[in-house]
């Protein structure tokens, strides 16, 4: 039986950010990661995730404070403007970094590069990192949390003042206060376009769902929302047929689509975990909320979870870790941000993923108004960059 102050289940980017955020606190921290030989190595299992992540300017600042940005900067591409439009209707809006007096609206990086940068920092932050630890149970008593896990073929147990479920916690059963299946999946890959991206991202709404093009290196990372009924067919298309479909759906704002990398797909849903029955167990990141990728809020929300939880724990005496008052302080700081982010993405998906005549023209008018109203545009851009802190 081992005991630590903080046990973090899941050593992905959000869990690693929390561990690094507690560096120098004097607290004993253990990170349990199911993958083996994955920490700090882009080539290993977690890094093979082909998704690109849109990192907001707020996330960029947090990564700087955690000391992880320097290793990631060479692999990240700045977003200096975002073009928002809908297919088959007038009305569009362009958000720029100048609108908010910032060098960039955000950045785009591959999951593998982000994971490597944060996990490399985690290796040197003083936390105990246990790889190949498959968590099987999480329980709580009045005095501590308990984590049961399998490691090297044996059953082990760890106790902690507070147990934090991060990405690794998503495999554990949990009551959900909201669970919505959009009946869609995201088809992701890299695409090459005829015209250079010039650090411009696109959010293109279609009746089937949004299409996002995110500048990454010299090419674009594509996130194409696809109804599940069409998913297998789209994945099976030849590259030429896939690019032709994409051209029809997106249009010619970037000229012709020239090439596409290997495709992958992920189901899309909105899931919000119910509050834990015990203050000794806290959920952050994907273990607490899963959002539709429209507007790129998911990872940024999780990173803010880790930052705010680290701040709360640093201000909490060791003997009060896991007590109801401390847990409530953290939950209160995140309530508005999580509710606002999940509501905004859900409204965007439901409002724009249809071809209703009146609604389509209302959306066009709303985009035109956004483009012509600088204060509104600035407010919206800051919401994308900093979440609830922007209001």
**Beta strand pairing status for 134-140 and 145-151?**
antiparallel
CA distance 365 to 233: 34
CA distance 179 to 342: 11
Residues 6+ apart with CB under 8 A from 325: none
Place of tokens 């030429």: 240
Question: Binning pLDDT at 50, 70 and 90, where does residue 87 land?
Answer: confident
Task: Report the mean per-residue pLDDT for the chain.
Answer: 90
CA distance 303 to 309: 10
pTM over 0.85: yes
Helices assigned H by DSSP within the chain: 13-21, 57-65, 69-73, 111-123, 228-236, 239-250, 298-314, 324-352, 357-372, 374-386
Residue 248: alpha-carbon gap to chain centroid: 28
CA distance 259 to 331: 45
HSE-CB for 306 with a 13 A CA cutoff: 34
What percent of the chain is predicted at pLDDT more than 70? 94
C-alpha R_g of the chain:
21
Q: What is the pLDDT of residues 30-82, one digit of tens each?
A: 999 998 865 544 444 444 577 899 999 999 999 999 999 999 999 999 999 99
Q: Return the pLDDT at 388.
A: 65
- Is the pLDDT score of 274 beyond 90? no
Structure tokens at 11: 């050593």
CATH architecture, domain 2-77+108-177+270-349: 3-Layer(bba) Sandwich (3.50)
Do residues 18 and 284 make contact, with C-beta atoms less than 8 angstroms apart? yes
* Burial of residue 152, with CB atoms counted within 10 A of its CB: 0-12 exposed, 13-18 middle, 19 or more buried: exposed
């Amino acid at each position: 039986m081992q005991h630590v102050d903080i046990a973090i289940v899941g050593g992905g980017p959000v869990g690693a950010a929390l561990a690094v955020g507690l560096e120098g606190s004097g607290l004993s921290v253990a990170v349990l990661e199911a993958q083996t030989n994955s920490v700090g190595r882009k080539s290993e299992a977690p890094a093979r995730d082909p998704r690109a992540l849109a990192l907001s300017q707020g996330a960029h600042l947090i990564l700087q404070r955690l000391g992880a940005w320097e290793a990631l900067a060479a692999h990240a591409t700045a977003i200096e403007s975002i073009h928002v439009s809908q297919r088959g209707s007038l009305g569009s809006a362009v958000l720029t970094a100048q609108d908010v007096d910032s060098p960039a609206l955000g950045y785009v990086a591959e999951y593998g590069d982000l994971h490597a940068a944060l996990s490399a920092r985690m290796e040197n932050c003083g936390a105990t990192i246990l790889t190949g630890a498959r968590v099987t149970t999480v329980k709580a008593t009045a005095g501590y949390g308990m984590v049961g896990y399998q490691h090297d073929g044996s059953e082990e147990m760890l106790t902690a003042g507070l147990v934090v479920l991060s990405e690794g916690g998503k495999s554990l059963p949990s009551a959900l206060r909201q669970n919505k299946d959009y009946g869609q999946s995201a088809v992701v890959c890299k695409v090459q376009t005829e015209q250079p991206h010039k650090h411009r991202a696109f959010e293109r709404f279609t009746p089937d769902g949004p299409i996002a093009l995110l500048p990454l290196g010299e090419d674009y990372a594509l996130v194409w929302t696809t109804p599940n009924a069409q998913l297998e067919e789209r994945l099976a298309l030849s590259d030429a047929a896939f690019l032709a479909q994409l051209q029809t759906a997106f249009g010619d704002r970037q000229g012709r689509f020239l090439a596409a990398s290997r495709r992958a797909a992920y189901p899309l849903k909105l899931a919000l975990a119910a509050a834990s029955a015990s203050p000794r167990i806290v959920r952050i990141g994907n273990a607490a909320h899963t959002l539709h990728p429209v507007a790129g809020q998911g990872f940024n929300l999780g990173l803010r979870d880790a930052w705010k939880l680290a701040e709360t724990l640093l201000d909490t005496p060791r003997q009060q870790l896991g007590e109801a008052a401390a847990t409530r302080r953290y939950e209160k700081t995140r309530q508005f941000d999580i509710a606002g982010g999940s509501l905004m993405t859900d409204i965007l998906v439901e409002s724009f993923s249809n071809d209703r005549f009146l609604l389509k023209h209302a959306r066009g008018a709303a985009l035109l108004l956004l483009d012509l109203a600088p204060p509104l545009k600035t407010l919206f851009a800051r919401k994308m960059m900093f979440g609830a802190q922007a209001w």
